[in-house]
Amino acid sequence: MRKLFTFKYARLVYGIIILIIGAVSMLLPMIPLGYIGLFVGAYLLHHRIPVLERLMDWLREQDKQGRLQRFEDRVDNFFKKAQEEKEER
């Protein structure tokens, strides 16, 4: 399972896929929560797209409770652990 998250451009590929799924699910009224897909896809892509980086900076400023930082830490740890496991093999 971890092999799926260890290739070099995993965040880019999964970010694009989730962003597209979120956009499509927003257009279909029978599938709710498209905004969550857009947010997660934007988060995964914010390292590569400057506009999304500025958006994430603004969201960090607005988040007084630190929820966004905790979410970022969890995602970063997940991808780092997957990469470390790959390197151990």
User: pLDDT tens digits, residue range 21-37?
Assistant: 888 888 887 767 788 88
Neighbours of 41 (CB within 10 A): 21
Statement: residue 57 has pLDDT above 80: yes
All residues at 6 or more sequence positions from 7 whose CB lies less than 8 Å from its CB, including other chains: 13
The most confident of the ranges 26-30, 51-55, 74-78 is 51-55
Non-local (6+) Cβ contacts of 47 within 8 A are 11, 53
In angstroms, rounded to a whole number, what is the distance separating the alpha carbons of residues 77 and 29?
34
List the structure tokens of 59: 């969201």
C-alpha span between 20 and 28 (Å, rounded): 13
pLDDT (0 to 100) of residue 89: 64
User: For the whole model, what pTM was predicted?
Assistant: 0.65
For 87, list phi and psi in degrees, rounded to 5.
-70, -30
